[in-house]
Amino acid sequence: MSYYRHHVFFCTNQREPGADRPSCASCGAADAQAHAKKRIKALGLAGAGEVRVNKAGCLDRCEEGPVLVVYPEGVWYTYVDNSDIDEIIDQHLVGGEPVERLRI
Ligand code: FES
């Protein structure tokens, strides 16, 4: 059994200006990760046996970003704003059903 029921990784990678690939950090990834972490804590879902929200370096899906991935399912998402993050939290992390419209 997994230590966490859901382990979520947000790419927060930032490349130098003029880089040949996009960066998730240029699309609000740090704020989105912070929002998710705060909301999971507020819901009482943080910790062992529950949900962990981590920052990650480049996950190599830059062109589809910003991206996050939920394990152990291995479900990948992109998002635009905090309402998308809330939908992923409510429907997938709490409800157990992936959000199909945000999957990549
Ligand atoms: S910069 Fe985010 S996946 Fe590469």
Tell me the pTM.
Answer: 0.97
Closest CA to 80 of 35, 18, 43: 35
For the CA atoms of 3, 58, 26, 37, the dihedral, rounded to the nearest 10 degrees, stands at 10
Instruction: Write the pLDDT tens digit of every residue in 42-71.
Output: 999 999 999 999 999 999 999 999 999 999
25 lines ligand 1 (CB under 6 A): no
Instruction: Write the pLDDT tens digit of every residue in 1-50.
Output: 789 999 999 999 999 999 999 999 999 999 999 999 999 999 999 999 99
Q: Which tokens belong to 61?
A: 């899906």
Q: What is the pLDDT of residue 96?
A: 97
Tally the residues of the chain: 104
State the distance from the centre of ligand 1 to the C-alpha of 55, rounded, in angstroms.
11
Closest CA to 102 of 66, 78, 68: 78
Closest CA to 27 of 54, 60, 67, 57: 67
Domain-wise residue ranges, the chain? 6-102
The CATH number of the domain covering residues in 6-102:
3.40.30.10
* C-alpha–C-alpha distance, residues 3 and 90, integer Å: 21
